[in-house]
Amino acid sequence: MADKSQRTEKPTAKHRRETREEGNVARSAELGGWASFLLVASLLPKLGSAAADRVTGFMHHATQAMGHPDPGTAVTLLGQGLETAAFTVLPILLIGGGLAVAIAVAQVGLRFTPKAMRMKFSRISPKSGLKRLYSSQGFWTLGKTLLKLAMLASVGYVIMRRLVGGVLGGGTLPLQVTLSAAASTLANLMRVIGALALALAGVDYYFQRRTYQQELRMSRQDIKDEQRESDGSPEMRRAIRSKARRLSRQRMMAAIATADVVVTNPTHFAVAIAYDRNKDRAPRVVAKGADFNAVAIRERARSCNVAIVENPSLARALHASCEIDDVVPPQLYAAVAQLLAFVYSLSPTARAFREVHQMSG
């Protein structure tokens, strides 16, 4: 890959696809996590209230059951405890995990990339590790981590100070009121931390995407090399074109057997015409050629007992205006109709006669 200063061209679709197959995509690993954290923190009062009621009910039932202990009651309490724990934790896991997965899919799509799972020694190479550490990506990661720690520590300090002050100053308040205030303060702390961290994760995603787009750019030489790989070497391209021409000529020569007539000029051009009243809206050119190919067309027509008619002006006009499988152009309908009428007027023996029939043109 070329030096960064030489990568001035937009990436090709092939380069984008191969890069994605390698597992290199623009994404922020923290975006989904912090979005889930913020959502759960916002829903925590409602989720917490329902969970508190469920836990309180279980504790009340457990306290009553402890007065009459027996194995059956213990098993029942165990089942109720597991059910309470599941219904308390599962909503948080489902909501948070679902949002995290949705954001991950939104960033990179649903793609299975086996190449990304292969072992790459460059990932554990000390040299590669140092190179990544002192790259712009490494400095951004370090700066992002320090900023996040400073931000979270500052916000946490302010809110925890209020929390401690409220708890210590609420000595005369009922315990339930004090705990409720503490829970509300903690929920606010979580929401503020989640919002700030999510904003930082958004900036991180923008940086990752911008860096990814820069890394994708290609030099002109890269594009030329890719084009050469896609098309093959000049020798291969020539071989492919030669084979295509050979196959096309074989199909053309085979189609002469279906022709009604071959019109010549007489030596330089030869055009084979076929007309099926039940299928064709107009006569079609099934083969044409000049010089050497014209000779080959005439020889093939003789071997297939196809009538050969000499009409120089019509042969030149058809050769110039038609490609293989084209219908005859309207301006030549009359001339071709006369040609076909002449051929159809010949007896089967005369049509199969290997000499060239004369027709004025």
Q: Domains (ranges, CATH) in the chain?
A: 8-227 (no CATH), 249-358 (3.40.1690.10)
Q: Sheet holding 284-290: strands in order across? A: 284-290, 269-274, 261-264, 307-310, 357-358
* 40 close to 227: Cβ distance less than 8 angstroms: no
Whole-angstrom distance, CA of residue 201 vs CA of residue 36: 12
Among 170-174, 209-213, 316-320, whose mean pLDDT is lowest? 170-174
User: If you average pLDDT over every residue of the chain, what do you get?
Assistant: 77
- How many residues in total does the chain contain? 361
Q: Taking the mean position of all CA atoms in its chain, how far away is CA 111? A: 9
DSSP annotation of 277 reads T
Share of the chain above pLDDT 90, in %: 12
Whole-angstrom distance, CA of residue 262 vs CA of residue 157: 97
Q: Is the pLDDT of residue 83 over 80?
A: no
* Predicted confidence band of residue 316 (pLDDT cuts 50, 70, 90): very high
